[in-house]
Amino acid sequence: MKIDDHDHVTIPPNGKAHEPQPAWREEFPIDWPKDEFRSRRDFTKMLGLTSLAFVAGQVWIGVLSIMRKSRSAPARMDLGLLDELPIGGAKRFEFPSPGHPCLIVRLEKDSVVAFGQKCTHLSCPVIPNAELGKFLCPCHHGSFDIKTGRPLAGPPRRPLPKIELEIKDGRVYAVGFAEAGA
């Protein structure tokens, strides 16, 4: 291939004039401006596809929401005797299935609460501190209210998932998850 119009067909990668270029450049005329060119039309089309992808993402969240609602209630779990837990003490358990760490904390003689142990920021395990009345996250210094699970400080913005408890004959049972905001 003979390059007739150098200004419009090709610019050598080294930026030098066309005449001293080696002969192989005529066989491989890399056109840098065209190679790097992204037209406005292509960019706008890409924006359209991105917009469609966001709609698909929203629909996917909707599907996940439906799947979560239709999931059956978790099986009731025996967490042991209430009196085994000292006031201000905490015990770790896994609910509703292994791999989902939770904490039960006895706040007062007849007051006991349980929450998921994963911090809602980046899933670090939170540590209860009954004296301060907080769950503390050591990773980014986040903290949650020990009674409600609401975020108090640090990066977490969502509350810890609250577990509904039932006390029967001195034994504590985990019976499910409380609704958000409950």
Partner 1 sequence: MKGLSTLHQRNSMVLAIVCIVLCLVVMQLWLLTATMEAFLGGEDFIVWPAAAASLALFGLNFGLLHFYLRTLSC
Provide the binding-site residues for partner 1, judged by CB under 8 A: 40-41, 43-45, 47-48, 50-52, 54-55, 57-59, 61-62, 64-65, 68-69, 120, 157-159, 161, 179-181
CB-wise, 11 or 102, nearer to partner 1? Answer: 102
Q: How far is the CB of 41 from partner 1 (least distance, A)?
A: 6
Helices H, strands E: what count in the chain?
4, 10
Decide if 165 contacts 112 (C-beta within 8 A): yes
Minimum CB separation of residue 177 from partner 1 in Å reads 8
CB of 73 to partner 1, least distance (A): 15
Nearer to partner 1, 58 or 111 (CB): 58
d(CA 39, CA 28): 23
Residue closer to partner 1 (CB basis): 51 or 111: 51
User: Residue 169 CB, nearest distance to partner 1 (Å)?
Assistant: 31
The C-alpha angle with vertex 168 and arms to 165 and 171, in degrees rounded to 5, equals 80
Measured between alpha carbons, how far is 114 from 90 in angstroms, rounded to an integer? Answer: 9
Q: Which is nearer to partner 1, 45 or 76 (CB)?
A: 45
Cα 116 from Cα 160, distance rounded (Å): 6
Minimum distance between the CB of residue 172 and partner 1, rounded to whole angstroms? 23
In the structure encoding, which two tokens stand for residue 27, read together? 């066989």
State how far the Cα of 104 lies from the Cα of 114, in Å rounded to an integer: 4
**Nearer CB in complex with partner 1: 23/66:** 66
